A and B are shown apart, each in its own frame.
Chain A
Amino acid sequence: MTALLETRDLAKNFGAVTAAADINVQINAGEIVGVIGSNGAGKTTFINMVTGYLKPSSGQILFDGKSVIGRKPREVMRDGMCRSFQVAQLFPELTVMENVLIAQSLAEGKNLSFFSPMHTPAREEKARAILKEYEILEYVDETIATLPQGVRKLLDIAMAMLSNPKVLLLDEPTSGVAIEDKFDLMTTVMAAVKKSGAAVLFVEHDMDVIARYSTRLLAFYDGRILADGPTGEVMRDKNVQTLVVGHHLDMDELEGTNNA
């Protein structure tokens, strides 16, 4: 089976600092992959490289059989790899509806219309359906600046999903979200993702979230992949617990673990 996303001996240096090295990963269609690692372990560098934002120092990145290196993020995105950000990237002075309509219009095609109005009943209806799916319809007429963090995160992800990606990269989807809202947010996102059939790669610090939603886990340490395998297996790994998590993980305490 050909991997949807594959990296071969991927490395990134910033001057004398090695941010990533020897990264060999294969992501298959429909997989839900968690990514863990302490700060500076290379997680975001990895995501930035595979989306075309950062050019690797060496190695290869293949997405759907095509090399990503040298291509712009928008070109990679057009091929079906979308992302959300650690800090939700939205249009702050516009309303939720306008944010979705712009994302929808841009997702419809490279050649934007000059004269047909952006606000059409069909587009607005679709936008409301999307907001309902992500359970944020009640905020439709509010501007982004007034929204709670969790709603911003959901909107960010909803906008990334509008172009029906094959792979969705989520950079810390629950950071800044209240503890009690984290599972609700992830459940909503995963339900939408499951429906679309996209593979998901999500960077996360909360081990409960990782345990509950990922079926496979990549553990980064010092710019390298320390462990890659079924979530439960990687979480039980002594090296991962010592070097990445920083403490012993009691698998019985991690609720709803996929591969405990």
Chain B
Amino acid sequence: MLSKNQIFVVAAAALMILAGLVMPYWFSFLVTVALAKGLVVLGLVILMRAGLVSFGQGLYYCAGAYAVGAFSDYFQTDNVLLLVLVAIVCGLVISSIVGLLLSRYRDIFFAMFSMAFSMILYGVLVKSAALGSSDGFNVTKPSLFGWAAEFNGTNLLSYWVAIILACVAGAIIWRYMRSPMGMTGEAIRENEIRVEYLGVSVQKIIYIKYIIAAVLASVGGSITAMTVGHIDPEMAYWTTSGEFVFIALMAGTGHVAAPLIGAVIFELMRTFAFQLSPYTWQMILGIALLSIIIFLPNGLWSLTDKFKKGAN
């Protein structure tokens, strides 16, 4: 039996899927890319709840995208399910190796090491002629067993996949965050020594969280690659990772919906800021973030708590 909240999420997702048929292309494109980034931020939030800030999620975002691009190119396939699976495997393999080292570090060391790995990938890709060097390369549009979901000249498959994956990932992570494994993240943030003395390996828990965050980032990267149709090394550059941290701070870590909604708000804000002021749009974003940090230190999601308190 579905709860009220679950019915609401399913209904909202169904509505969004149907809305794709009538909404303008630019908006469905924006929402798709935003949800892809939202998935990366969702992973980042899992780490942040354990007291870790990664400035290197771009590593997995880019790796997932390149895995999709290289796989589809080499095997001449555009099957969306297969491509997302490839991205998941790619994120899983890389993070299970890198995580062995990173799970030993905390605070600024974790942040800097994660950024270093991301920048290593960036450097490798820029120097790889076979992968298009700094220009990157084009990625084929996805299909579902040959069905491209073309409506009024718009490919809606990526949009639908993004919505379904965001809902599925959101539901899984929602349950995870309420489980003993998920809650242990907050315990680690609060007091690592106590967690060790309760008989659990903090390093192992962080390692698992790191892998989950990496897989989410890879999936986000795969959606972006299929939606934009082009990938380049900028996806691993530190500013891309910084953007994810920006969204996480702006949205807050209070709920799994926060990063997904926050990413949509961020993309809308950036689009309109760019339209308003093409040369100083970053300043508008900066002012917005500063205002949120000052007036809503726990992010936009904390507004929901204020509304709830107000209603009571």
Where chain A touches its partner, the secondary structure class is loop
B186 touches A78 (CB 8 A): no
B197 touches A91 (CB 8 A): no
Q: Does B15 contact A (CB under 8 A)?
A: no
Q: Does B193 contact A (CB under 8 A)?
A: yes
CB-defined contacts of B19 to chain A, threshold 8 Å: none
Mask of B197-229 contacts with A, CB within 8 angstroms, 1/0: 111110001000000000000000000000000
Q: Does A234 contact B (CB under 8 A)?
A: no
**Contact status of A118 and B199, CB under 8 A, knowing A89-B191, A89-B194, A90-B191:** no
Closest to B176 in A: A114
Q: Does A82 contact B (CB under 8 A)?
A: yes
A63-108 residues at the B interface, CB under 8 angstroms: 72-74, 77-78, 82-83, 85, 89-94, 98, 101-103, 105-108
A82 touches B197 (CB 8 A): yes
Closest to B201 in A: A74
A112 touches B184 (CB 8 A): yes
Given the complex of chains A and B, what is the CA–CA distance between A161 and B196 in angstroms? Answer: 15
CB-defined contacts of B190 to chain A, threshold 8 Å: 90-94
Q: Does B308 contact A (CB under 8 A)?
A: no
**Contact status of A77 and B183, CB under 8 A, knowing A92-B190, A118-B178:** no
Q: Does A121 contact B (CB under 8 A)?
A: no
Q: Does B195 contact A (CB under 8 A)?
A: yes
B199 touches A163 (CB 8 A): yes
Neighbour of A106 across the interface among B175, B182, B193, B198, CB < 8 A: B198
B195 touches A106 (CB 8 A): yes
Given the complex of chains A and B, what is the CA–CA distance between A155 and B270 in angstroms? Answer: 48
**Contact status of A74 and B197, CB under 8 A, knowing A102-B183, A113-B181:** yes
Nearest-Cβ distance from residue A71 to partner chain B, whole angstroms: 12
- Residue contacts A-B, CB under 8 angstroms, 10 given: A72-B196, A72-B201, A74-B199, A82-B197, A85-B193, A89-B193, A91-B187, A93-B190, A102-B198, A110-B199
Q: List the interface of chain A (C-beta within 8 A of B).
A: 51, 72-74, 77-78, 82-83, 85, 89-94, 98, 101-103, 105-108, 110, 112-119, 159-160, 162-163
